[in-house]
């Protein structure tokens, strides 16, 4: 898979604008300032594929990028404090509406969390949402280069207590500075692209592969692996 050939496709600010999926989708989710745009640019070896906003909390669209036969979906950053309640509700409606939509062929969510800090209330709410709606996901711990070895080990121990079902979740430490985690994320994307069925909108038999639903070989958390 040639990650350098990812291209911006389109943006949607309203759920009503979004057509049904015509291919599988992999989404990136995280709070404002977690480094999501920088991560996407690093993964696809581009400087400005995903725009880094100078004003946190002002990106209020779902952005789609094409990568060969899949869509990469950049969800709006959530949780920025200095916005109105109506703006926060708008975030929630847009993100939640996308994730809940049965017409989306969503195979996986990369859920980003700043490795330096405990997950926020919004982070935990998002993780619980993904579990409740049986959406496979991987946690990516951003800004891993900011922590020394001992501090990193302490944070990982703390995450085990702070994050629901932590032992069953695939986690990837990531750094845009050192490149740590880049190949891990690329490998996961390639695995999904290679193993997921080609989406056929008119097919009544379209189902995700058991490996990704059950987490047997992938390790991606779903409720079935969580409950064991």
Kindly compute the dihedral angle of the four CA atoms of residues 219, 172, 110, 36, in this order, to the nearest 10 degrees: 180
Query: 90: closest CA among 103, 110, 19, 98?
Result: 98
* Dist. CA 64–CA 46, nearest whole Å: 15
Q: For position 87, what pLDDT does the model report?
A: 56
Q: For position 113, what pLDDT does the model report?
A: 97
* Dist. CA 54–CA 33, nearest whole Å: 10
Q: For position 202, what pLDDT does the model report?
A: 47
Q: For position 103, what pLDDT does the model report?
A: 86
Q: What is the pLDDT of residues 36-92, one digit of tens each?
A: 999 999 999 887 676 655 444 455 789 999 999 899 999 988 876 555 555 556 567
Q: Counting beta carbons within 10 angstroms of the beta carbon of residue 112, is it exposed (0 to 12), middle (13 to 18) or buried (19 or more)? A: buried
Q: Which residues of the chain fall short of a pLDDT of 50?
A: 54-57, 198-219, 222-228
Tell me what percent of the chain is helix, strand and coil, each rounded to the nearest 5: 35, 20, 45
Contact 128, 226 (CB under 8 A): no
* Domains in the chain: boundaries: 11-226
Is 11-226 a CATH 3.40.50.300 domain? yes
């Amino acid at each position: 898979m040639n990650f350098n050939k990812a291209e911006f496709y389109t943006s949607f600010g309203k759920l009503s604008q979004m057509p049904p999926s015509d291919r599988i989708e992999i989404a990136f989710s995280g709070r404002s300032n977690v480094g999501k745009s920088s991560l996407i640019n690093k993964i696809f070896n581009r400087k400005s594929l995903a725009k880094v906003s100078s004003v946190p909390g002002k990106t209020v669209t779902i952005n789609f990028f094409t990568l060969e036969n899949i869509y990469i979906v950049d969800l709006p950053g959530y949780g920025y404090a200095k916005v109105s309640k109506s703006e926060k509700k708008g975030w929630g409606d847009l993100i939640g509406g996308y994730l809940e939509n049965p017409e989306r062929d969503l195979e996986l969510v990369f859920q980003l969390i700043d490795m330096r800090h405990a997950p926020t209330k919004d982070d935990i709410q998002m993780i619980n949402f993904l579990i409740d709606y049986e959406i496979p996901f991987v946690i990516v711990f951003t800004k891993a280069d900011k922590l020394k070895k001992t501090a990193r080990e302490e944070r990982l121990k703390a995450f085990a207590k702070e994050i629901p079902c932590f032992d069953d979740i695939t986690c990837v430490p990531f750094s845009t500075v050192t490149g740590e985690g880049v190949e891990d994320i690329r490998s996961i994307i390639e695995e999904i692209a290679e193993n997921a069925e080609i989406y056929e909108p008119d097919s009544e038999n379209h189902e995700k592969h058991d490996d990704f639903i059950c987490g047997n070989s992938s390790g991606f958390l779903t409720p079935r692996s969580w409950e064991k």
